[in-house]
Amino acid sequence: MASSFYSESILAAARLDAYEVVDEILCRAPNTINCQNEEGHNVIQLAVITRSERVYNLIHRIIVQSERYRTMTDSYKNNLVHLAGRLAPSFVLERTNGAALQLQQELLWREQMEKLMSPLELEKENMYKETPAILFTREHQDLIKQGENWMKITAESCSITAALTVTVVFAAAITVPGGSNQESGVPLFKNEIAFTIFAISNAFSLFTAATALLLFLSILTARFSERDFLVTLPQRLIFGLFMLFLSTTTMIVALICGFACLPISVIVTIKLPLLIDLIRSTYFPIFGKKSYLESCKIYRESAIFRRAGVFDFGM
């Protein structure tokens, strides 16, 4: 009776990633985890379909400790990896900037579901004779193309900035401040501290800008397969942007004329949010134990679920 009363509420909460509501309802009525919508999807399946990461993290241990939940399928014989292979709703994709990072998040969800399955489960076909891999490729073919274009456009704009930086610092290197001795070629200010700072900063800027340029060019010549968007391409872009930022910073230190650095500095500042998003998306996993889960009741009162006999939530 309680399960029926909370059915619509817990399903709506799962779709909206309202983990506090799901936590409260599961504590009151553990059997509501089996409630289904009109398409036959329960709370776990809805969390995967709608990419509700906080709800998924909340019920992750339930899935891991129950083979029934790990291997369950919907009315179209889609297992959890199939469901993770479906394209996320548009309102979910819009949370992430850039098609490449959106695709990365989709790949992370697929990878997480694959960890729950045996190799045989990963090759099972649904009602339409599609394996999870085939379904993912079909659903994400447009996003893959958009991600490739986004990566190329970003790499091209950054490579132009890197090339401009190389040009500026190289010109500064061959045009030594204060000139050189006409006979020996030794810089006149070689014993000055300011000149030493200039020389070191300029050299560092040149090398880092050249490294960044090579990294951006490697992105432009990449094959852009599905798996490349998970780690390889984001890492190259992260290191390329990081090298570009270092190069610009040291260039500003090296050059006395700050106005000459202003255009490049503006471009780098614009790209800083992108670097932050890349690092967060690539190196800070969305799955696993999270601090907000410590306050959830189903982590503190697991005896409720053992008594209900719905699942064993062993500690």
CATH number at residue 38: 1.25.40.20
Q: Are residues 54 and 132 in the same domain?
A: yes
Q: Are residues 129 and 35 in the same domain?
A: yes
DSSP summary character for residue 59: H
The single-letter code of the amino acid at 29 is A
Residue 163 pLDDT class (50, 70, 90 cuts)? very high
Q: 253 to each of 198, 209, 212, 258, how far by Cα in Å?
A: 7, 14, 19, 9
**C-alpha to C-alpha distance for 27 and 53, rounded to whole angstroms:** 19
Into how many domains does the chain fold? Answer: 2
**C-alpha to C-alpha distance for 23 and 43, rounded to whole angstroms:** 12
How many helical (H) and strand (E) elements, i.e. helices and strands, does the chain have? 15, 0
Residue 18 domain-assigned? yes
Q: Are residues 13 and 129 in the same domain?
A: yes
Q: Are residues 134 and 155 in the same domain?
A: no
Quote the tokens at residue 110.
């697929």
**C-alpha to C-alpha distance for 310 and 120, rounded to whole angstroms:** 26
Q: Is the pLDDT at 268 greater than 50, yes or no?
A: yes
Residue 48 domain-assigned? yes
Q: Is 2 within 8 Å of 29 (Cβ atoms)?
A: yes
Q: Are residues 17 and 60 in the same domain?
A: yes
The single-letter code of the amino acid at 50 is T
What lies within 8 Å, CB to CB, of 32 at 6+ separation is 2, 3, 6, 7, 10, 25, 26, 43
Q: Is 219 within 8 Å of 233 (Cβ atoms)?
A: yes
Residue 168 pLDDT class (50, 70, 90 cuts)? confident
Looking at the DSSP bridge assignments, the partners of residue 180 are: 187
Quote the tokens at residue 266.
């503006």
Residue 30: per-residue pLDDT: 84
Q: From 14, 26, 1, 30, select the one nearest 309 (Cα to Cα).
A: 30
Quote the tokens at residue 76.
């179209």
Residue 130 domain-assigned? yes
**C-alpha to C-alpha distance for 107 and 81, rounded to whole angstroms:** 11
Q: Are residues 87 and 188 in the same domain?
A: no
Q: Is the pLDDT at 294 greater than 80, yes or no?
A: no
Residue 314: per-residue pLDDT: 38
DSSP summary character for residue 77: -
Q: Are residues 98 and 170 in the same domain?
A: no
**C-alpha to C-alpha distance for 211 and 141, rounded to whole angstroms:** 32
The single-letter code of the amino acid at 132 is P
Q: Are residues 51 and 182 in the same domain?
A: no
Residue 188: per-residue pLDDT: 56
What is the pTM for the complete model shown? 0.85
Residue 313 domain-assigned? no
Q: Are residues 266 and 174 in the same domain?
A: yes
Residue 314 domain-assigned? no
Mean pLDDT of 84-102: 93
Quote the tokens at residue 152.
């190329």
Domain carrying residue 171 = 141-283
Q: Are residues 149 and 127 in the same domain?
A: no
| Mean predicted lDDT score pLDDT of the chain | 84
Catalogue the long-range contacts made by 3-6 (C-beta closer than 8 Å, 24 or more residues apart).
3/29, 3/31, 3/32, 3/34, 3/35, 5/29, 6/32, 6/35
Residue found by looking up tokens 């394209």 in the block: 87
Residue 21 domain-assigned? yes
Residue 207 domain-assigned? yes
Residue 112 domain-assigned? yes
The single-letter code of the amino acid at 125 is E
Q: Are residues 72 and 48 in the same domain?
A: yes
**C-alpha to C-alpha distance for 166 and 171, rounded to whole angstroms:** 8
DSSP summary character for residue 5: H
pLDDT digit string (tens) for 35-66?
888 888 999 999 999 999 999 999 988 888 88
Q: Is 208 within 8 Å of 243 (Cβ atoms)?
A: yes
Q: Are residues 182 and 272 in the same domain?
A: yes
Question: pLDDT > 70: what percent of the chain?
Answer: 83
